[in-house]
A and B are shown apart, each in its own frame.
Chain A
């Protein structure tokens, strides 16, 4: 029988499939070789500096307008009173007999408008601090290792600025480069700056134009400004580079007691100061705005503008890679760079129904309600006085970080949570959000919110998860009681 020219029988099919498979397999091996040669994990000891930590494909989720909504006339933050650290500093002059009269006019006026904040801020001094000292003597030994680790992580802390931007932001007048180097292209510069940010230790980096709305109306003390004079936005603060590093994951899940902000605070602070130094070496101006309180601006909206993430119900920015488990820093500069776009990967819809952070917040600082208009922008309200009071209402390391630990987005980047992230980011109906929130609540249970308080305030000193083995004091130290 004569064979037809195109008789594609089973045998031919298998032969063709075999040949195609061999070709594909060979090509795959070649690509595998290239990939393993480039693999960030092969940079032993410097794996996290290769930029692979920012692995989410942001391009697909870029939007022209940020996910916050401008709804009216905007105003800038007065750091003297609207930032808790500024306010608490001024409350030091409080005199019980003189009452509000003991405070300066600006703080007095603030508390007259917000009497509930005065009550909460004074409660911290009058009740929480004494209780904490007492409880710490009785129960605090559990946290000796956690506190030692936290202090050690914050031990390397670059010196902040004590001069205004006109002096601090520019290259040294004698030793620095007085004429900025000519750059080839803003796109290339942005790429270089991002690479440097990773090299300096940053996990995430994004760039945006600085919106003056985010700069404080009155500065924080200790930044080289006259805090009583309005802060004029310096002309050379044209761009903002946002960087971020994670808090160590295992203690992070053991918040509020065992985790600390100091590890990521110090890392991000070091990154920002290195980045500012690098930019100044090129002859441009740069200023680092860093943790703990060395900021001249509000950080979350800048992170949004720079495309790093979206603001969640708990007011913290959620990123695709780290969820809310990171601490940011900003560098303001005039080096010309291409900017990033904000992203929308479904957080606004998710937060509308999830509410786990609000349910888990022991102090009730996070709203379960809708967004409100705050300084001309629509966002979820956070009662910072309640939040701040809880920082001292539990034992172990100062602070809380529970809202960020329980956030479903704050999961390690294993295949399961990466898949869940892709599902939520690509579900325009929002149907999967309720399902995933339900799974989170049932599969990943948490203590009762009130159990996080220290015993004298009616709690059980609970933590969200058990501490890692290396922070369990009893396993390493012979405890005699009252050593904390």
Chain B
């Protein structure tokens, strides 16, 4: 067992996720952005998908499957970026930046 498949790793991952959510919420509060339930749901979905892409690339590198890692990064990665950009606009996160 290594650190990255230990219980400690997932504990730290959980703490980091909580801190990210709190930070994201404060960041939005500072800019006066309020999200309704379905926007939160979309955000969670997008985060889950992006996490999947990162883990997909990682597992295939580790598994000695470079083509799967490359294609995964290319296809799923582009999909994550495009959907991320759409979500950014949808949440109107850009409007108050710099205020």
A residues engaging B (CB < 8 A)? 32, 36, 41, 250, 253, 412, 414-416, 442-445, 465-466
B59 touches A416 (CB 8 A): yes
List the B side residues contacting A412 at CB < 8 Å. 63
Query: With the chains together, A144 CA to B7 CA distance in Å?
Result: 42
14 interchain pairs, CB-CB under 8 A: A32-B7, A253-B64, A415-B59, A416-B55, A416-B56, A416-B59, A416-B60, A443-B65, A443-B67, A443-B71, A444-B65, A444-B68, A465-B64, A466-B64
Query: With the chains together, A444 CA to B64 CA distance in Å?
Result: 10
Nearest-Cβ distance from residue A174 to partner chain B, whole angstroms:
49
Query: With the chains together, A414 CA to B55 CA distance in Å?
Result: 11
Q: Interface digits, B36-77 against A, CB 8 Å rule (1 contact, 0 not)?
A: 000000000000000000011001101111011001100000
List the B side residues contacting A250 at CB < 8 Å. 64
A36 touches B7 (CB 8 A): yes
Contacts A414-B59, A443-B71 known; 5 new A-B pairs at CB < 8 A: A414-B63, A416-B56, A416-B60, A444-B67, A465-B64
- Number of B interface residues at 8 Å Cβ cutoff, please give it: 14
Q: Known contacts being A32-B7, A36-B7, A465-B64, is A442 close to B71, with CB within 8 Å? A: yes
Query: With the chains together, A443 CA to B64 CA distance in Å?
Result: 12
B59 touches A445 (CB 8 A): no
Nearest-Cβ distance from residue B40 to partner chain A, whole angstroms:
16
- Residue among A32, A250, A415, A443 facing the most chain B CB atoms (10 A cut-off): A443
B68 touches A443 (CB 8 A): yes
Nearest-Cβ distance from residue A66 to partner chain B, whole angstroms:
33
Listed from nearest, the 10 A-B pairs whose CB atoms lie closest are: A443-B68, A416-B59, A41-B1, A443-B71, A414-B59, A444-B68, A445-B67, A32-B7, A444-B65, A443-B67
B72 touches A443 (CB 8 A): yes
- Residue among A36, A41, A444, A465 facing the most chain B CB atoms (10 A cut-off): A444
Total number of residue pairs linking A and B with CB closer than 8 Å: 28
Query: With the chains together, A253 CA to B72 CA distance in Å?
Result: 21
List the A side residues contacting B67 at CB < 8 Å. 443-445
Nearest-Cβ distance from residue B63 to partner chain A, whole angstroms:
7
List the A side residues contacting B59 at CB < 8 Å. 414-416
List the B side residues contacting A443 at CB < 8 Å. 60, 65, 67-68, 71-72
List the B side residues contacting A442 at CB < 8 Å. 71
Query: With the chains together, A416 CA to B67 CA distance in Å?
Result: 15
Of all chain B residues, the one with the shortest Cβ separation from A47 is: B1
Of all chain B residues, the one with the shortest Cβ separation from A36 is: B7
List the B side residues contacting A466 at CB < 8 Å. 64
List the A side residues contacting B7 at CB < 8 Å. 32, 36
Query: With the chains together, A444 CA to B72 CA distance in Å?
Result: 11
Of all chain B residues, the one with the shortest Cβ separation from A414 is: B59
List the A side residues contacting B72 at CB < 8 Å. 443
List the B side residues contacting A445 at CB < 8 Å. 67
List the B side residues contacting A253 at CB < 8 Å. 64
Nearest-Cβ distance from residue B87 to partner chain A, whole angstroms:
24
Query: With the chains together, A466 CA to B67 CA distance in Å?
Result: 13
Of all chain A residues, the one with the shortest Cβ separation from B7 is: A32
Query: With the chains together, A126 CA to B14 CA distance in Å?
Result: 65
List the A side residues contacting B63 at CB < 8 Å. 412, 414
Nearest-Cβ distance from residue A448 to partner chain B, whole angstroms:
16
Query: With the chains together, A32 CA to B7 CA distance in Å?
Result: 8
Q: Known contacts being A32-B7, A36-B7, A41-B1, is A415 close to B68, with CB within 8 Å? A: no
Of all chain B residues, the one with the shortest Cβ separation from A468 is: B64
Of all chain A residues, the one with the shortest Cβ separation from B71 is: A443
Q: Interface digits, B4-42 against A, CB 8 Å rule (1 contact, 0 not)?
A: 000100000000000000000000000000000000000
List the B side residues contacting A444 at CB < 8 Å. 65, 67-68
List the B side residues contacting A36 at CB < 8 Å. 7
List the A side residues contacting B62 at CB < 8 Å. 414
Query: With the chains together, A443 CA to B71 CA distance in Å?
Result: 7
Query: With the chains together, A250 CA to B71 CA distance in Å?
Result: 22
List the B side residues contacting A41 at CB < 8 Å. 1
List the B side residues contacting A414 at CB < 8 Å. 59, 62-63
Q: Known contacts being A32-B7, A36-B7, is A415 close to B65, with CB within 8 Å? A: no
Nearest-Cβ distance from residue A254 to partner chain B, whole angstroms:
10
Query: With the chains together, A466 CA to B62 CA distance in Å?
Result: 14
Of all chain B residues, the one with the shortest Cβ separation from A33 is: B7
Nearest-Cβ distance from residue B15 to partner chain A, whole angstroms:
12
Query: With the chains together, A443 CA to B62 CA distance in Å?
Result: 15
Nearest-Cβ distance from residue B3 to partner chain A, whole angstroms:
14
Nearest-Cβ distance from residue A422 to partner chain B, whole angstroms:
15
Nearest-Cβ distance from residue B19 to partner chain A, whole angstroms:
15
